[in-house]
Chains A and B, each alone.
Chain A
Amino acid sequence: MASVEISGLRKLYGDVVALSDISISIPSGTFYTLLGPSGCGKTTLLRTIAGFHQQSAGQIAVDGSSIEHLPAHQRDVAMVFQDYAVFPHLSVRDNVAFGLKQRRIPAKEITRQVEEVLEVVELGKFVDRMPHELSGGQQQRVGLARAIVVRPKVLLMDEPLSNLDARLRVDLRAELRRIQRDLGITTIYVTHDQEEALAMSDVVCVMEGGIIQQAATPLDVYLRPSNRFVASFVGANNFLQVGNFKGECVLKCCGSSVSQHLPAGPVVCALRPEDISVKVDEDPSSLLNTEISIPVQIKEVSFIGREMEIFATTDNGEAIKAVGRSDSKVIALPVDSRAWFCVERQNLSFFRDSELGERV
């Protein structure tokens, strides 16, 4: 159990900036997730903390003592790997005992701790198996047991569930979180799966281009994304152009007034598909003033079981998508028919119109 403090961390590959001035502070016991698309720098950051990459500048401190100058094998930050990295020539027991042996713990104590941790990850019966006799999920449990048995100050996990099938991923996700909570171990978790990040984390740190875009609780990241990238990467989002009409900010596609006080410069309005309700034949003028309605042309309605997805275009050609409970009236809509997408005003958010445009 330890806090992690990273300040001014930079990593350059020649002229390419992989990490740009990363500063984060992780309180002890936190489940901290680095989320982002591939190439955003999340794995580089994790591997730099582990000591597999040498930072170009900056400090990494665990419990107040800096570790950035230590070689990887002296850092006491255990890692769980994406491809499990279970030693294929060693039994489950020897895999889990590997780190304990490095720490010169007495043999008897090793046996006890190995058996104990294997019970925790529910592999008690497999102690003498070889890795090739285990399934992917079981191998990753070995990887986890091997990491936590050494009681590291920090646990690092590099997309540990991404090689598993969907069902197992969800099961193991809950189990990982349970074990982490029980041990109270500070965990830095890398994933590109936003659902995984939101479901497991205390703090989600969204990265792009080697820069931290937002670090906040899952709810905050989802409801109050700090910029347009976060808004589009975490959950789905529609972005509609906002224009200025007679001193009022209006949606360009329908002229609805959306806000009186937006700064100068191009701005987009973000509305989540699940916040949209589809009106087929009601008169939109009867709507409450707390809602706006956008006339659209239906392009495709796909029924995917629990819900339906409606793809449409606004009157100035912007693509817009809605998601909602299946409704036979909507599903029956022919292509190119008219409908109205209605959203409550409080669910609208606004960003400057650029890839990383900030929230306004």
Chain B
Amino acid sequence: MAFSFPRHRPDFWTWITISIVAVLCILLILPILRVLTLGFIDPDTGSLTLDNFIEVFTRNYYLNGLKNTLFVGALGTLGACLIGIPLAFFTTRFLITGKTLISTLAILVLVSPPFISAYAWIMMMGSNGVITNFFGGIGINIPTIYGAHGIILVFSLKFFPFIFLMTQTALTAVNKSFEDAAENLGCSPWQRFVKVTLPLVFPAVSTGAIICFVLSIADFGTPAILGRGFRTLSTIALSAYRSELGGPPTMAVTVSILMMAISMIALVAQRRILANRRYASSLTNLPVAVKLSGWKNAAVHFFSHGIVFLAMLPSAVVVYTSFLKTKGPVFVGGFGLESYDRIWRDAPDAIYNSFLFAIIAVTFITITSGLISYVIVRRDTKAAAAIDFLMMVPYLVPGVVMAIGFVTVFRNGMPNFFGPAFLLVMIYYIRRLPYGVRSTTSSLRQIKPSLEEAAVNLGATPLGAFVKITVPLIFPGIVVGALMGFITAINELSSTLILYDAGTITMPVKVYLAVLDGEFGLAAALSTILLLSTGACVYAVFRFAENRNSAFI
């Protein structure tokens, strides 16, 4: 028996469970299965074959892409760890002035789209960047941001908040007695950190690292903007898809399978490592932050604030640039609102589409995530466990891959039935649904089931009890989930690039195209609007979330 439903009468929640499974089958499982099968089919003969994989693993074009992806992914993650772990340690173990500001900025970095910081770095350190030109002016040729090192820099500064926030949470929960015991047994502070503290927070660090790695593999915007000939699997998948338009996207799909496989292997490896490391700890003796003095204090403050400053710098540059006076694509000196003027003329549809698609998708997410959470938390069936597992899948499937799956399922044979707008809303929905579900699930876990039972006992139908009792009680979780869904949906680039057409362009796509065209002013103004809406949502999350940090990771 695949699903163990209650044997006697299928009740309201059984029907909901069936509907959820059906939706997930169509929007999630089907596209992924389609991608998986297409990779094993010969595009010309239609027969089963391994040739596509042989091609990927023998041709340098693909092999280099694979190597590059792993290289920037691994080093980007390493960089994020080297930034995030010390930052977490400093902010929890030492008294740092402006600690809340650091966390807030880290969260802002976390939610702002990576392609914006990629192109902001071009404006600073590109061939014609401010910093490049400054050093060029005094006769020093510094390397430009283009290439692997630039991508690694952007990844490190973009993804470190995952490591930082998760490690910080773990560090505040480590029983101080462990560290005291280590010191008592003769460890120096550094030995204590390496031998006791770090292993204790390793589960959190590794979870953060795996998120960084998966996001680095999936990221399209950064290598596309900074790559200049340095190709990763995500950019290769997109160009393969473009060159295969009209036929089956066999090579795009084969590369996609490779990307999914890497994410999966990384996740499984992390689970394996973590399986034997569960540290239950009674929180009798909470760690305390000590006040440093002298140069140590200065150094720790300089590092902590310096890092978030550096990470926020791209956003600041973007906002600053948007107010520069331009003439066409050229900055002519001084300040002006020409860039915003151009948005109203050139890209009102991008703004309109972005908000429209994101709002519709988030509306669906809001309605369904409460129901899905209820099934996951309250129903002890195999189907509920399967749904819980499936909610992890969208995190692991890169946007490019998901979009190619959508195209192969929904455009195959019925070209005009599902329009691009419909597909974009659906892909935002399925890819951002886990944010909503995770948030409502954690709210729901704190609600005693007896409350719903009491309502049913007093005569409310299962749906009535859900609407009158459950929804009001998990409302903050629903709002936070919706806001997180909105932030991530409105900033979506990679899958939109595959699915959009002239009438359904969005702000991230417009920014991406403007950057490729060298229209930095226009890109900056649009990015500023994106950053503002993102910032407003973050502010709202802060207002609604019980624990502000955990809402984002």
Q: Which residues of A contact B (CB under 8 A)?
A: 50-52, 54, 69, 71-79, 81-83, 85, 87-89, 98-99, 102-103, 143, 146-147, 150
**Roughly how many angstroms separate A150 CA and B457 CA in the complex, as a whole number?**
11
A74: B residues at CB distance < 8 A = 459
Query: How many A-B Cβ pairs are below 8 Å?
Result: 72
Q: From residue 1 to 24 of chain B, which have CB atoms closer than 8 A to chain A?
A: 6-9, 11
For residue B458, CB closer than 8 A to chain A, the reply is yes
- Cβ contact within 8 Å between A87 and B455: yes
In contact, B460 and A73 (Cβ under 8 angstroms): yes
| Chain A residues, CB < 8 A from B450 | 81-83, 85
**B228 part of interface (Cβ distance < 8 Å):** no
Q: Would A87 and B461 count as touching, CB distance under 8 A?
A: no
In chain A, what residue has the closest Cβ to B457?
Answer: A79
Identify 11 residue pairs between A and B in the complex whose beta-carbon atoms are under 8 Å apart, listed by A's number.
A50-B453, A73-B465, A74-B459, A75-B457, A81-B453, A82-B450, A85-B448, A89-B473, A98-B458, A98-B460, A147-B457
B456 within 8 A of A: yes
Nearest-neighbour CB distance to chain B for A109, whole angstroms, equals 16
Q: For the complex, is B472 an interface residue (Cβ under 8 Å from A)?
A: yes
Q: Please, which residue of chain B has its CB at the minimum distance from the CB of A50?
A: B457
CB within 8 Å of A: which B457-472 residues: 457-462, 464-465, 468-469, 472
Chain B residues with a Cβ under 8 A of chain A = 6-9, 11, 448, 450-451, 453-462, 464-465, 468-469, 472-473
**Cα–Cα distance between A83 and B460 once the two chains are bound (Å):** 19
* Cα separation A77 to B456 with both chains bound (whole Å): 11
Nearest to A72 among chain B residues (CB) is B456
Interfacial chain B residues near A51, Cβ < 8 Å = 456
User: Is A85 touching B461 in the complex (CB atoms < 8 A)?
Assistant: no
- Give the Cβ gap from B114 to chain A, nearest Cβ, in Å: 40
Residue ID in chain B nearest A150 by CB atoms: B458
Distance in Å from the Cβ of A51 to the closest Cβ of chain B? 8
When distances are taken between beta carbons in the complex, the residues of chain B under 8 Å from A88 are 451, 473
Residues of chain A within 8 A of B462, CB atoms compared: 71, 73
Chain B residues with Cβ below 8 Å from A72 are 453, 456-457
For A146, give its contact among B9, B458, B464, B472 (CB under 8 Å).
B458
Say whether B454 contacts A54, CB under 8 Å.
Answer: no
Give the distance in Å from the alpha carbon of A257 to the alpha carbon of B346 in the complex. Answer: 109
Collect the chain A residues with CB atoms within 8 Å of residue B455's CB.
87, 98
CB-defined contacts of B460 to chain A, threshold 8 Å = 73, 98, 102
B454 and A87 form a contact (CB under 8 A):
yes
Query: Which residues of B lie under 8 Å from residue A102 when comparing CB positions?
Result: 458-460, 464
A77 touching B457, Cβ below 8 Å: yes
**Which of A72, A76, A143 is the most central at the interface, judged by chain B CB atoms within 10 Å of its CB?**
A72
A71 interface neighbour in B11, B453, B469, B473, Cβ under 8 Å? B11
| Contact, CB under 8 Å: A99 / B8 | no
Q: A54-B6, A99-B459, A103-B459 are in contact. Are A85 and B11 (CB under 8 A)?
A: no
Chain B residue, CB-CB nearest to A78: B457
Question: CB distance A54 to B457 under 8 Å?
Answer: no
- A4 and B9 CA atoms in complex are apart in Å by 23
